[in-house]
């Protein structure tokens, strides 16, 4: 990508899009095209067509999506399927119509079968049943990957797909029910510390294993792949290391400085038992994450405290 190339970041206010935005700015890209969802509803086919016709972006990072944690995915099944299909159909198709030089589509590790062998290689896609709690979201993301592949095969478009593992970072969603585990526990433990609560509830058994990647590291990988990878075959992005939800809860507890007890609530769903990405393809291309989980959680908690004191 040339430094003055016109680059559209779809979803620039979300956790991933804002990290890509920061990264591109830091690297000196200054012709960035941004639209908030109240100015451009990416589910609206005509609005997206008009936007591409008027702006003619050269590169697209497709980081806009309806996202949420295990309960949101399960409760808002229609919204997760419809909104994500509509957003990606509109953006990918208009990128083709307007000759975008390269598009990067962001998926998620939940596209892989619930019981995929671990660590999960890219070729395990569509080899088994999905985790039921996030099946609508996963089906939409799988359709997005296949859309990018099909536009590559039929029209020669340079559209690539990147599958990040579970993410956390700045501008995360702290909704008490709809967020992901890491921001949910950060908020709950922080509030319990402030209120001197004797116990904090952690959903599920604590046994599921999860891998976590700092969103700024993902942004770095996306910019790296945008510059160096032209294959329609998807690429996993992760750290290659995981831990149990129980270990994660104790890590966050120590960073927040909460001194009460953790109580596990087995009435809440565990979801997939394990989803560790095989990142050997990405590492062979020359990319490696740089932020350890402990460092990343510290950075996020500092940012969280700063935003609390700023309010
Ligand atoms: P998942 O990776 O798609 O299952 O997404 P989540 O981040 O929502 O959940 C990961 C794991 O953390 C699941 O086993 C949850 O049951 C567990 N978990 C523990 N406490 C919480 C919580 O407060 N919120 C969420 N979302 N998950 C939690």
Q: What is the DSSP string of 66-100?
A: ----HHHHHHTHHHHHHHHHHHHHHHHHHHHHTT-
Per-residue confidence (pLDDT) for residue 177, from 0 to 100: 84
How many domains would you assign to the chain? Answer: 1
Q: Give the residue numbers spanning the domain of 108.
A: 7-172+212-240+276-291
Contact 132, 113 (CB under 8 A): no
Q: 245 CB less than 6 Å from ligand 1?
A: yes
Per-residue confidence (pLDDT) for residue 178, from 0 to 100: 86
Q: Which two tokens stand for residue 53?
A: 């016709």
Per-residue confidence (pLDDT) for residue 310, from 0 to 100: 66
Candidates 183, 178, 185, 177; CA nearest to 202 is 185
Cα 247 from Cα 251, distance rounded (Å): 6
Position 199 in a domain? no
Q: Which CATH number goes with the domain that contains 78?
A: 3.40.50.720
Give ∠ CA 167-273-123 in degrees, rounded to 5.
70
Catalytic residue among 59, 96, 112, 137: 137
Q: What is the Å distance from ligand 1's center to 223 Cα?
A: 28
What predicted TM-score, i.e. pTM, was given to this entire model? 0.95
Q: 67 CB less than 6 Å from ligand 1?
A: no
Q: What is the Å distance from ligand 1's center to 264 Cα?
A: 12
137 labelled catalytic: yes
DSSP state of 111: G
Position 2 in a domain? no
Contact 218, 167 (CB under 8 A): yes
Q: 95 CB less than 6 Å from ligand 1?
A: no
Element (H, E) at 209: strand 209-210
Per-residue confidence (pLDDT) for residue 284, from 0 to 100: 98
Position 123 in a domain? yes
* Parallel, antiparallel or unpaired: strands 209-210 and 159-164: unpaired
Which three-class secondary structure state does DSSP give residue 278? coil
Q: What is the Å distance from ligand 1's center to 33 Cα?
A: 34
Per-residue confidence (pLDDT) for residue 143, from 0 to 100: 98
Q: 108 CB less than 6 Å from ligand 1?
A: no
Per-residue confidence (pLDDT) for residue 96, from 0 to 100: 98
Position 149 in a domain? yes
Q: 208 CB less than 6 Å from ligand 1?
A: yes
* Parallel, antiparallel or unpaired: strands 209-210 and 243-244: antiparallel
Distance of CA 288 to the CA centre of its chain: 17
Cα 72 from Cα 259, distance rounded (Å): 29
Position 187 in a domain? no
Please identify every stretch of the chain with a pLDDT value under 50, giving residue numbers as ranges. Answer: none
Per-residue confidence (pLDDT) for residue 68, from 0 to 100: 87
The tens digit of pLDDT for each residue in 237-287 reads 999 999 999 999 999 999 999 999 999 999 999 988 999 999 999 999 999
The best mutation among 180, 202, 247, 273 to test binding of ligand 1, ranked by most ligand atoms within 8 Å of the C-beta, falls on: 180
Closest atom of ligand 1 to 210 CA is 2
Q: 202 CB less than 6 Å from ligand 1?
A: yes
Position 25 in a domain? yes
Candidates 277, 300, 308, 228; CA nearest to 109 is 277
Q: What is the Å distance from ligand 1's center to 70 Cα?
A: 6
Q: Whose CA is nearest to atom 20 of ligand 1?
A: 203
Closest atom of ligand 1 to 134 CA is 3
Q: Which two tokens stand for residue 239?
A: 């750290």
Position 153 in a domain? yes
Q: Which two tokens stand for residue 89?
A: 């159909």
For every residue of 46-72, DSSP letters joined together read HHHHHHHHHH--SEEEE-------HHH
Per-residue confidence (pLDDT) for residue 311, from 0 to 100: 58
Candidates 140, 258, 142, 128; CA nearest to 189 is 258
Contact 61, 10 (CB under 8 A): yes
Per-residue confidence (pLDDT) for residue 181, from 0 to 100: 96
Position 271 in a domain? no
The best mutation among 137, 181, 201 to test binding of ligand 1, ranked by most ligand atoms within 8 Å of the C-beta, falls on: 181
Cα 35 from Cα 201, distance rounded (Å): 38
């Amino acid at each position: 990508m040339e430094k003055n190339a016109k680059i559209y970041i779809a979803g620039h206010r979300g956790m991933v899009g804002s990290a890509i935005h920061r990264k591109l700015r830091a690297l000196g890209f200054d012709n960035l095209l941004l639209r908030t969802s109240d100015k451009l509803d990416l589910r609206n086919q005509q609005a997206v067509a008009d936007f591409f016709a008027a702006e003619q972006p050269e590169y697209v990072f497709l980081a806009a999506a309806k996202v949420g944690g295990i309960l949101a995915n399960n409760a808002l099944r229609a919204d997760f399927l419809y909104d994500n299909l509509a957003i990606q159909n509109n953006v990918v198709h208009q990128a083709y119509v307007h000759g975008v030089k390269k598009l990067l589509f962001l998926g998620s590790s939940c596209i892989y079968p619930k019981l995929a062998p671990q660590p999960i290689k890219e070729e395990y896609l569509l080899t088994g049943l999905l985790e039921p709690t996030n099946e609508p979201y996963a089906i939409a993301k799988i359709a997005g990957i296949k859309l990018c592949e099909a536009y590559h095969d039929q029209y020669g478009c340079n559209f690539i797909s990147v599958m990040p593992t579970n993410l956390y970072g700045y501008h995360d969603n702290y909704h008490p029910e709809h967020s992901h585990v890491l921001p949910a526990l950060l908020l709950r433990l922080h509030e319990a510390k402030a209120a001197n609560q004797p116990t904090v509830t952690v959903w599920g058994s604590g046994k599921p294993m999860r891998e976590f990647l700092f969103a700024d590291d993902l942004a770095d990988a996306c910019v790296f792949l945008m510059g160096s990878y032209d294959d329609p075959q998807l690429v996993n992005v992760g750290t290659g290391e995981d831990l149990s939800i129980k270990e994660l809860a104790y890590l966050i507890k120590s960073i927040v400085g909460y001194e009460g007890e953790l109580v596990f609530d087995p009435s809440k769903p565990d979801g997939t038992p394990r989803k560790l990405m095989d990142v050997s393809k990405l590492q062979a291309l020359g990319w490696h994450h740089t932020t350890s989980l402990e460092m990343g959680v510290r950075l996020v908690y500092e940012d969280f405290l700063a935003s609390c004191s700023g309010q």
